[in-house]
Every structure is written in structure tokens, then in C-alpha cells.
């Protein structure tokens, strides 16, 4: 009954988050579904101290799907990887409920440090294609990581992060990332900074043009006054 319940849950998750699916049977072809079956078994073996067999099963799943999940990682309910090729999840990673990853995401460490060395991803987080989250820190719940971002420090809850290195560009996300699955319409801080510079530059150019116009008017007035003074001097002579 537990297996059937898990399969029904996986079907529900995929149908909720992937608009490309047309039937429940397609779920059995999804890399995310296949790799999670391998992960769940490998994780149980890992927790039981059977490290070789845990690795063996997880590596079989990686070869079949292109998704590498270390059996030591802790993953909650409602986890979904869209497409998934190139996804890597490290040993001490902790993933909460209803988290979504896209292809090319890495949840990794930063070196050979001991202990907790991979990120903690809280509930309802979406990490877009190609993003890298490196180090032992927390991505707060309901947050969204933009495509191609490199996140090296903690992210507060309800935040949107973009860039290299990643920085928070929006707080208080609404709605939840998994409700829209939107990787595209994110703030672009670089474009915003450039737009502000262009606006300020235009204002400076307009000011310079006004000053040049005023200078020409003053020069004209000065020439007229000079001519008048010369005319008066000639009359006096």
C-alpha cells in the first residue's frame, strides 16, 4: 500500500507542475520518478549503514536518468525535478516539502570541509535551470532562485535571487513559486541599474544642453551690449 500511495503522490506532483504531461502513465517515463524510486531505496540502505549498496543503487539511478542524488541526502515530500539532466544533490543536503528543481541544478559544497557542507532547502522553494547553490546555508521557504544564478550565502524566506553571485532582488514572493513555475519573469537588477544610469545620463545631457543654450543667449546679450557701448563711445568722439 505504501508503494501505491507513493506512486499516486508522484503522479499528482508531476501533473500539478508539468504542463507537458497528458496522462498519468507518462509519469512512469519521467526521470524524476525513476530517480526518486532509486533514491528512496538507497536512502534506507544508507541510514542502515549499508553504504556500498546504497551507492550502488544511487549510481544505477544516476546512469539511467542523468540525475545524481547522494543516498545520504534528506528529501521531503512533494519533490519534483523537471527534465533533470545534470542535477546533482550532495550528501548533507536537506530538502523540505514541495521543492522543485530544474535541469542542471547543483546543490553542492565548497571544498573538503567536514560535517554539514551542503545547503538546506526549505519548503516550497523553486530552483531554476542551471542554478548552483554551494555551501552549508539555508534557502528560506517560498523562495525562488533564478536560472543560472550562483548562490553562496543564505537567502531569507519569500525571496527571489538572481545573478552571479546571487543576490536578493525581491522579498515577499506572491504567489508560491510552485504555483506558477515561472523561471522567466524575474527582476533583472543589472538591467534596472543600466536603465537608471540611462535615465540619469539623459537628465544630465538635457541639463548641459540647457546650460549651453543659456550661455549662447548670454554671449549674444554681451555682444549686443558691447556693440551699444562702442556706438556710444563713437558718438561721444
In the chain, where do the E strands start and end?
68-69, 74-75, 80-82, 88-89, 94-95, 100-102, 106-108, 120-121, 126-127, 132-134, 138-139, 144-145, 150-151, 159-162, 167-171
- pLDDT, mean of each 10-residue run, the chain (237 residues): 71 78 82 89 94 95 93 92 90 93 92 85 93 94 92 92 86 60 62 79 88 88 79 67
Find the CATH number of the domain harbouring 141.
2.160.10.10
Task: Fill in the DSSP letter of residue 119.
Answer: -
According to the model, what pLDDT value does residue 97 have? 92
Answer yes or no: do 123 and 210 share one domain.
no
Answer yes or no: do 69 and 171 share one domain.
yes
Q: Using CA atoms, how far apart are residues 44 and 63, in angstroms rounded to an integer?
A: 20
Domain that holds residue 218: 188-237
Answer yes or no: do 162 and 140 share one domain.
yes
Task: Fill in the DSSP letter of residue 66.
Answer: S
Number of domains within the chain: 2
21 neighbors 15 (Cβ within 8 angstroms): yes
Helices of type H across 48-188: 51-65, 177-180
What is the SS3 assignment for 155?
strand
According to the model, what pLDDT value does residue 27 have? 81
According to the model, what pLDDT value does residue 235 have? 66
Neighbours of 47 (CB within 10 A): 12
What is the SS3 assignment for 133?
strand
In this structure, the dihedral spanned by the alpha carbons of residues 130, 135, 138 and 144, taken in order and rounded to 10 degrees, is -10
Record the cell numbers describing residue 207, joined without a space: 541639463
According to the model, what pLDDT value does residue 17 have? 78
107 neighbors 70 (Cβ within 8 angstroms): no
Answer yes or no: do 135 and 80 share one domain.
yes
pTM tops 0.85, yes or no? no
Q: Using CA atoms, how far apart are residues 89 and 61, in angstroms rounded to an integer?
A: 13
Answer yes or no: do 30 and 55 share one domain.
yes
According to the model, what pLDDT value does residue 3 have? 67
Answer yes or no: do 90 and 11 share one domain.
yes
Answer yes or no: do 63 and 102 share one domain.
yes
Answer yes or no: do 139 and 237 share one domain.
no
Answer yes or no: do 106 and 211 share one domain.
no
Answer yes or no: do 178 and 85 share one domain.
yes
Answer yes or no: do 78 and 14 share one domain.
yes
According to the model, what pLDDT value does residue 31 have? 87
Which of 164, 184, 204 lies at the terminal end of a domain, its last residue? Answer: 184
Answer yes or no: do 140 and 217 share one domain.
no
Record the cell numbers describing residue 12, joined without a space: 499528482
Q: Which candidate, 18, 34, 115, 29, places its Cα nearest to that of 67?
A: 34
Amino acid at each position: 500500500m505504501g508503494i501505491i500511495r507513493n506512486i499516486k503522490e508522484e503522479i499528482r506532483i508531476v501533473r500539478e507542475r508539468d504542463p507537458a504531461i497528458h496522462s498519468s502513465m507518462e509519469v512512469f517515463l519521467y526521470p524524476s520518478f525513476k530517480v526518486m524510486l532509486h533514491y528512496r531505496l538507497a536512502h534506507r540502505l544508507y541510514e542502515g549503514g549499508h553504504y556500498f549498496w546504497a551507492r550502488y543503487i544511487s549510481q544505477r539511478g544516476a546512469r539511467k536518468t542523468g540525475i545524481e542524488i547522494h543516498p545520504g541526502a534528506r528529501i521531503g515530500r512533494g519533490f519534483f525535478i523537471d527534465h533533470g539532466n545534470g542535477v546533482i544533490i550532495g550528501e548533507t543536503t536537506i530538502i523540505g516539502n514541495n521543492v522543485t528543481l530544474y535541469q542542471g541544478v547543483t546543490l553542492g559544497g565548497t571544498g573538503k570541509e567536514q560535517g554539514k557542507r551542503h545547503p538546506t532547502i526549505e519548503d516550497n522553494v523553486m530552483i531554476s535551470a542551471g542554478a548552483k547553490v554551494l555551501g552549508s546555508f539555508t534557502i528560506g521557504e517560498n523562495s525562488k532562485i533564478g536560472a543560472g544564478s550562483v548562490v553562496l550565502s543564505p537567502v531569507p524566506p519569500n525571496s527571489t535571487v538572481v545573478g552571479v553571485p546571487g543576490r536578493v532582488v525581491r522579498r515577499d514572493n506572491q504567489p508560491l513559486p510552485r504555483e506558477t513555475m515561472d523561471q522567466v519573469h524575474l527582476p533583472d537588477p543589472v538591467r534596472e541599474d543600466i536603465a537608471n544610469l540611462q535615465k540619469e545620463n539623459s537628465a544630465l545631457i538635457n541639463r548641459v544642453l540647457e546650460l549651453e543654450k543659456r550661455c549662447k543667449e548670454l554671449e549674444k546679450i554681451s555682444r549686443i551690449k558691447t556693440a551699444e557701448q562702442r556706438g556710444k563711445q563713437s558718438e561721444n568722439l
